Amino acid sequence: MAGTINVFLLVFRDLGTGAALVQREELREELTSSVFYVNCLLGILLTAIAYFGSPLAAAFFREPQLIPVMQALSFTFFTSSLAVVQSALLDRALAFNKVAAVELIGALAGTATGVSLAVSGFGVWSLVSATLVNSVTTTTGLWIVCPWRPKLLFDMEAIRSIARYTMNLSGATLVNYFARNADNLIIGRFLGSTALGYYQMAYNIMLYPLQNVSFTLGRVMMPAISKLQNDHPRFRSVYFRANATIALLTFPMMLGLMVIVRPFVLTVLGPQWLPVVPLLAIFCPIGLVQSIITNVGGIYRAKGRTDLMFKWGSIATVLYVASFFAGIPWGIVGVAVCYAIVVIGLVYPLLRIPFRLIELPVGEFLKGLLPVLLASGAMAAVVLFVRIGLDSLGLRPVVELLILVAMGIAGYILALRWFQPRVIWDVIDLLSSMGKQRVSALIQRMVGHRRAPVVAGI
C-alpha cells in the first residue's frame, strides 16, 4: 500500500528538472545550483506530504499499520532529491558505468539489509529498511563519483528558463502514470482482486523486457541525442540504431513467448496461473510494439518539445482508458484485447508526430526494422510448428519449454543469417570498440553476417 502511494508521488520527485539538465546544450553554474536547491525543496515537500498524509492513506486503505510505514518511507523523497543533479550530470557525461556501479551497490546493500532483517523476524520493516538503505547508499555513491558540488547561487531566471519544459514533462509523466495504472484500478473495481492478480501477472511479464531493454537503452540514448538535437541526420542515425538494437532483443522475446506461453506459465508460475495464458499471448504483440514506441519520448525531450509530448500523451491516455472500460463486459481477456486494438491503432500517429521533429519518415524507420521482424517471425513460426508436434507427445511442461527455447535460439540465429539485419553490424562494431573482440567475432561467426546497405535517411 505504501509502495503504491510512493510510486504516485515519485511522479513529482524532480518535476523534470534532471531531464532538463541533460537536454540543455550548454549548462551554467547558476542553473545547475539553482536546480539542486529546487530539488531539495521538492524533496522536503514530498516528505512532508507522505509523512503527514499517512493517516489519510491509512483511513482510505482501512489499515492503521500503514501510518508508521509511510512515515518511515517518506524520508526517501528527501534523500533521493539530494542526488538528482549528480545523476543528471553523470548521464549527460555518458558515465553510465559509474551510475550502474552505484545503483548496483545500493541495490545490494538494500537487499542484504532486507534479507537479514526478514530472517530475523522484522516482517514489513525489513522491506522498509531495505528501501531506506538503498536510497541512502545510492545518494551517497552518486555524490562520491560525481565531482560537482552546489554553490551558494540561486537564479530564479534560470529556473524560469526551464519551467515550461519541466512542467510539460511532469504533466506527460503524470498522464503516462495514469495510462499504465488505470487498467488496474478499473479491473480491481469492476472485476475483483482475483482477476486483477491474473491481469497484473501477465502485464508484469510483458513489461520485464521493456524495463530491462527499452528503458535501459533509452536512458543511454537520451544524452547522446540531446547533444545532436540540431543535427538531424546524426540524430536520426543514433535514434534508429538504438531502436534497432532494442528490436533485435525484444522482437524475438515477445514473439517467441507468444507461441510457448502455455509451457512457460506451467513451468515458471504453476498450473494455478493458467488463466494468465490467453492474457500473456495478447500482451506479447503489445510488448513488441511498445518496446519501440516507448522511446519516442526521447525525441520530444531532446528537441525541447515536451508540450507536444504532454498534449499527445494525454490524447493517447484517454483512448487507453476508454479501451479498458470497453473491454470490461468481456472480463480481463476483453480488457486486454481492447487495449491491444488501441495500442496497434496508435502506432502510426505516435511515431509520425515526433518523427516530424527530426524529419524521419515512418516508412523508412519501419523498413529498417523489417529484417529483424521477419527473422523473429520466422523463428516464432518454427517454434510453433515444433510445439504442435511436442503437444501430442505429452511431455512434461519443463521438458517441452527447454526444447522450445533451444529451438527458438537456434532458429533465430539461422533467421538472422538469412535476413541479415544491418543492426548486427552496429552491435559488432560497438563490442569491438569496447574491447570485446572475441565476443564480436563470435557473433559474426554465428550469424555469418555481411554488411547490409544503409536505409535511406537513417
Mean pLDDT, range 70-84, rounded to an integer:
93
Q: Residue 359: what pLDDT?
A: 92
Quick check: 210 pLDDT over 90?
Answer: no
Q: Residue 208: what pLDDT?
A: 82
CA angle 255, 258, 260 (to 5 degrees): 115
What distance in Å separates the CA atoms of residue 193 and residue 204, rounded to the nearest whole number? 16
Quick check: 269 pLDDT over 80?
Answer: yes
Q: Residue 184: what pLDDT?
A: 84
Q: Residue 308: what pLDDT?
A: 93
Phi, psi of 128 (to 5 degrees): -60, -45
Mean pLDDT, range 302-309, rounded to an integer:
91
> Coil, helix or strand for 270?
coil
Q: Residue 443: what pLDDT?
A: 67
Minimal CA–CA distance to 44: which of 82, 78, 17, 73?
A: 78
C-alpha distances (whole Å) from 169 to each of 11, 164, 263, 302 are: 10, 8, 41, 12
Cβ distance 377 to 217 under 8 Å?
Answer: no
Q: What percent of the chain has pLDDT over 70?
A: 93
Lowest mean pLDDT of 3-7, 34-38, 167-171, 316-320, name the range: 3-7
Burial of 240 (0-12, 13-18, 19+ CB in 10 A): buried
Scan for cell 547558476, then name that residue: 30
Task: Give the tens place of pLDDT for each residue, 141-180.
Answer: 999 999 999 999 898 998 998 889 888 988 988 898 888 8
Q: What percent of the chain has pLDDT over 90?
A: 54
Mean pLDDT, range 268-281, rounded to an integer:
94
pLDDT greater at residue 432 or residue 66: 66
Q: Residue 436: what pLDDT?
A: 61
For the chain, give the mean pLDDT.
Answer: 88
Quick check: 15 pLDDT over 80?
Answer: yes
Q: Residue 263: what pLDDT?
A: 95
Q: Residue 194: what pLDDT?
A: 86
What distance in Å separates the CA atoms of residue 438 and residue 308, rounded to the nearest whole number? 44
Q: Residue 453: what pLDDT?
A: 54
The sign of the dihedral angle between the CA atoms of 185, 187, 191, 192 is negative
Lowest mean pLDDT of 219-228, 305-314, 377-386, name the range: 219-228
CA angle 39, 40, 43 (to 5 degrees): 85
Q: Residue 402: what pLDDT?
A: 94
Task: Give the tens place of pLDDT for each residue, 346-369.
Answer: 999 999 999 999 999 999 999 999
Minimal CA–CA distance to 6: which of 46, 59, 65, 60?
A: 46
Q: Residue 188: what pLDDT?
A: 83
pLDDT band at 454 (very low <50, low <70, confident <90, very high): low
Burial of 147 (0-12, 13-18, 19+ CB in 10 A): exposed
What distance in Å separates the CA atoms of residue 231 and residue 71, rounded to the nearest whole number? 48
Q: Residue 451: what pLDDT?
A: 56
What does DSSP assign to residue 152?
Answer: S
> Coil, helix or strand for 209?
helix
pLDDT band at 457 (very low <50, low <70, confident <90, very high): low
Q: Residue 137: what pLDDT?
A: 96
Q: How many Å separate Cα 377 from the centre of its chain?
A: 24
Q: Residue 241: what pLDDT?
A: 87
Mean pLDDT, range 411-440, rounded to an integer:
73
- Residue 40: what residue type? C
Query: Where is 364: in which H helix or E strand?
Result: helix 362-391
The sign of the dihedral angle between the CA atoms of 45, 80, 84, 213 is negative
Q: Using alpha carbons only, how large is the chain's radius of gyration in Å? A: 23
pLDDT band at 331 (very low <50, low <70, confident <90, very high): very high
C-alpha distances (whole Å) from 1 to each of 8, 178, 418 are: 11, 17, 50
pLDDT band at 218 (very low <50, low <70, confident <90, very high): confident
What distance in Å separates the CA atoms of residue 5 and residue 1, rounded to the nearest whole number? 7
pLDDT band at 83 (very low <50, low <70, confident <90, very high): very high
Quick check: 434 pLDDT over 80?
Answer: no
Highest mean pLDDT among 39-53, 87-101, 231-245, 388-402: 39-53
Task: Give the tens place of pLDDT for each residue, 276-298.
Answer: 999 999 999 999 999 999 889 98
Query: Where is 200: in which H helix or E strand?
Result: helix 193-209
Cell reading at 35: 536546480
What distance in Å separates the CA atoms of residue 395 and residue 337, rounded to the nearest whole number? 31
